[in-house]
Amino acid sequence: MEINSLAASAALSLFSSISRGSAASVRSTASSAATAENSAVATISQAARDKLAAEPPKASSSAEYDTFQGSQPIDIDAYFTPDPSRSLEDTPLLAPTQRNIDALSRHVSAAMPDFLARHGIPEAPASIRYDAYGQPQFPADYAYAKEFRAALDDEPVLARQMSTVAALTSHKVEMEKSLPFITEYQAAQSQAEIAAVLAKYRYLFDGTNPSSQIALNFDAQGRLTVSADGKPVAAA
């Protein structure tokens, strides 16, 4: 379900922060779909890697993104590049919308094959998850985990873009879990109805409903898709 109103996104994000502990959700953002789970690596052909290594990426880093100040054209590489002259207050905050998830995923997809070729990594991990400290976690039998991690350290802009895809997806998925509660709470006409709604959705507040597991999944061409608990996250 796409959240069309950025104001609604802000309200839902606040509710998610209160009821689920959004800081932990962001740190843990990182089950892939069944096909990806059956393979520890996604292999890009040598010919494709050689070609990509010799050519600059063709994709532009600029696209329209949803922010809490409205839709804006953003150079996403510049956005994730530290700039001492740019204050945090002047940086538009990306909203957890499907459009942002899709746009960032396309950008990472375009960059991934060249990233692998540039660092001499022959295979991409089939999936990446993030632990509670925001560190990428790879399949146990992925042979190039050390090299991939080091390459991300060398290219922090791409690393931030990937983790942000996971973070935005986590926020979106968790907020959508809260939508029925918000709808019923707003429709309640009495204290008794409010109490009934709170009792019905108590699991949103008591920590018994764990956050969904978010995974970044790469196919053989380096294209990124995102899943939550093994199910693809896509526009409704």
- 42-51, 73-82, 150-159: range with lowest mean pLDDT: 42-51
Residue 207: CB atoms within 10 A of its CB come to 10
Give 1-23 pLDDT, tens digit per residue: 443 344 344 444 434 443 343 33
pLDDT at residue 60 in the model: 67
Please give the structure tokens belonging to residue 116: 């692998």
Task: Return the exposure string of 13-23: e unless at least 16 CB atoms fall within 10 Å of the residue's CB, then b.
Answer: bebbeebbebe
Give 59-91 pLDDT, tens digit per residue. 568 899 999 999 999 999 999 998 888 887 878
Check: CB of residue 109 under 8 Å from CB of residue 185.
no
Whether the model pTM is above 0.75? no
Two structure tokens written together for 156: 């922090």
| 30 SS3 class | coil
The string of pLDDT tens digits covering residues 93-141 is 999 999 999 999 999 999 999 999 999 999 899 999 999 999 999 999 9
Measured in residues, the chain has a length of: 236
Amino acid code (one letter) for 30: A
State the sign of the Cα–Cα–Cα–Cα dihedral 86, 10, 103, 149. positive
Torsion angle of the four alpha carbons 6, 7, 10, 13, in this order, in degrees rounded to the nearest 10: -80
